Amino acid sequence: MNPAWLKALALVCIFGAVVLAVEVLVNWLATSRAEGKAINLRLRMIGRGRSQGETMSILRRTSSVPAGLPPLLMSLAMKFERMLMQTQLTVPTGRLMLLLLVAPLLLFFLILGLMGWAGMWISFGRILVVATFAAVLAAAIPLMLLNFQATRTRKRMQEQFPVALDVFVRGLRAGHPIAAALDLLTVEMPDPIGTQFGLVVDEVTYGAELRDALQNMAERWDMDDMRMFVVSLSVQAETGGNLAEILENLSKVIRERHSMMLKVRALSSEGRMTAVILSILPVGTFAVLFLLNPKFFLDVANDPAFVPGYLFLVMLYAIGFITIRRMVDIKV
C-alpha cells in the first residue's frame, strides 16, 4: 500500500481515538458534576439510575432477620441491622453478615496452614490463640469501626434535626402543604437527615400514612426528638392549631435539650475516653503483638495452665467491658 495512504489512515485512527477519549472524559465529568450536585446519598443513588422503591429498600434495610430466633439472638440481630442502617452502607445485610462470618474462618485456617507448613506442633492452646486472633482481626475490629461510624452518623442526625425543623417551619409559613415541606427537606438537607426524610417521602408515595412513615423513621433511629415531632404532628392533626408555631417551639426545646446533653458529655468526657481506651487497648495490643511477634503467644500456649488462665482472662475482659459500658451510659 502507498505510504501516503498508510500515513493518512494512521492520522484518521489517531483522530478517532482522540475524539473517543474526549467524549468519554466529557461524559465522566458531566456524570461526576451531576452526582456532585446531589446533596445526600438517596439523591445520588437515584441519579445513578436506581428507582425510588429500590433505593428505599436498600437504605431502609427492611428487616431480614428470620423469625423464630431466641430473644437474645433476635435482639442482637436487630441491633446489628440498626447499626448497619445508621452507617448508611448500601451492602446487603446478608452479604455483610456472611463476610463477617467467613473472613475469620478463612484467616483461622490460613494461619493454621502456615503453622503446619512451618512445622509447628498444633495444640489446643495454639488453636485457641489463633482463633481469638482471627476473630479479633476479621470480626471484632470491623464491628468496632462500623459502630464508630454509626455513632458519628447518629450524632450528626441529632445535630441536624433542629435545623430540619426550622426548614420545615419556613416551608409551612411560605404556604407549602406538609407533604411539599417534607419534600423540601429531601433536596435541601445533607446526609443523614436529608436521606431519612427522603425515605419518609418515598413511603408516603407508595401508600403509607405520613404519621406511620415518620414513626418508622423514629423507630429506626430510636431518637426521642423524632418521637416528639411525630406526636406534635399527630396532636395537631387531631386537635388543630398552628403547626408552624408548635414545631418552632419544639425546635427550641430540642436545642435546649441538646445543649444540656453536650454539657453532660463534656463533664463525662474523661470517663468516656477512659472507657474507650480500656475497651480497645487490650484488643488492639493483642492483635498488633500477634502480628509482630506471634511466638510471644504461641510459645507459651502449650503450657497446661495456659488454657484455664486464658479463658479466665477473656471472662474478666467481658465483665469489665460490660461494667464500663454501663458506668458511662448516662441518660439525659
Q: Residues 300-319: pLDDT tens digits?
A: 888 888 889 999 999 999 99
| Cα 165 from Cα 302, distance rounded (Å) | 62
Residue-wise pLDDT tens digits, 241-267: 788 888 888 889 888 888 888 888 888
| Cα 228 from Cα 224, distance rounded (Å) | 6
The average confidence (pLDDT) of the chain is 83
Q: Kindly report the backbone phi and psi dihedral angles of residue 233, in degrees, each rounded to the nearest multiple of 5, phi listed first.
A: -65, -40
| Region of residue 284 (phi > 0: left; psi between -120 and 50: alpha; otherwise: beta) | alpha
| Cα 57 from Cα 215, distance rounded (Å) | 17
| Cα 80 from Cα 59, distance rounded (Å) | 15
| Cα 267 from Cα 181, distance rounded (Å) | 38
What is the arithmetic mean of pLDDT over 49-69? Answer: 73
Residue-wise pLDDT tens digits, 78-97: 788 888 888 888 887 778 88
Q: Which of 233, 240, 245 is nearest to 204 (CA)?
A: 233
Q: What is the CA radius of gyration of the chain?
A: 27
From first CA to last CA, the distance across the chain in angstroms is: 86
pLDDT at 66 over 80: no
What is the arithmetic mean of pLDDT over 269-282? Answer: 87
